[in-house]
Amino acid sequence: MKVSTARFGVSTARRNQMLDITGQVQQAIARVGAREGVVHVYVPHTTAGITVNENADPDVAHDVLTKLASLVPHKDDYKHAEGNADAHIKTILTGTSVTMHITGGDLQLGEWQGIFLCEFDGPRQREVWLKIIADE
């Protein structure tokens, strides 16, 4: 077994956005030649998260972001002075990492699943960090 490290950047386009990063994760797995193991996907941010959900109908992402905005409004009675307390709270609800399985060299996903960076305070340049622990 071996540990490999990879990183890539993504640019978000809106304040709130779910950006599909599945392809970049698959490319990193192929590049290091991982066969059996896991990939830990992590964002080093406090106002953007990582999640796994449907990548077929973009209306799902729309509904997710709309509901989060109604539960955690942008403007509210927050103390944090930077105007993005909502983004911090949404990031905690979403989480900043996921662990995905690799079998036979392939990222294992359910039929409708994709990996998404969840931008809550964009547009920004964001980073995604990967640790791949796998047999080659």
> How many Cα atoms within 13 Å fall on the side-chain side of residue 134?
28
C-beta closer to its own copies: residue 23 or 44: 44
Mark out the alpha helices in 82-123 (DSSP H runs): 85-94
Q: Which residues bind its own copies (CB under 8 A)?
A: 1-3, 5, 36-38, 40, 42-46, 51-54, 57, 59-60, 62-64, 66-68, 71-72, 76-82, 85, 88-89, 91-101, 103, 108-113, 127, 129, 131, 133-135
Residue from 70, 119, 68 nearest 96 by CA: 119
C-beta closer to its own copies: residue 14 or 82: 82
Question: In angstroms, what is the minimal distance from the CB of 119 to its own copies?
Answer: 14
Question: In angstroms, what is the minimal distance from the CB of 14 to its own copies?
Answer: 16
In DSSP notation, 55-69 reads -S-HHHHHHHHHHHH
Question: In angstroms, what is the minimal distance from the CB of 13 to its own copies?
Answer: 19
What is the Cα–Cα distance from 1 to 132, expressed in whole angstroms? 10
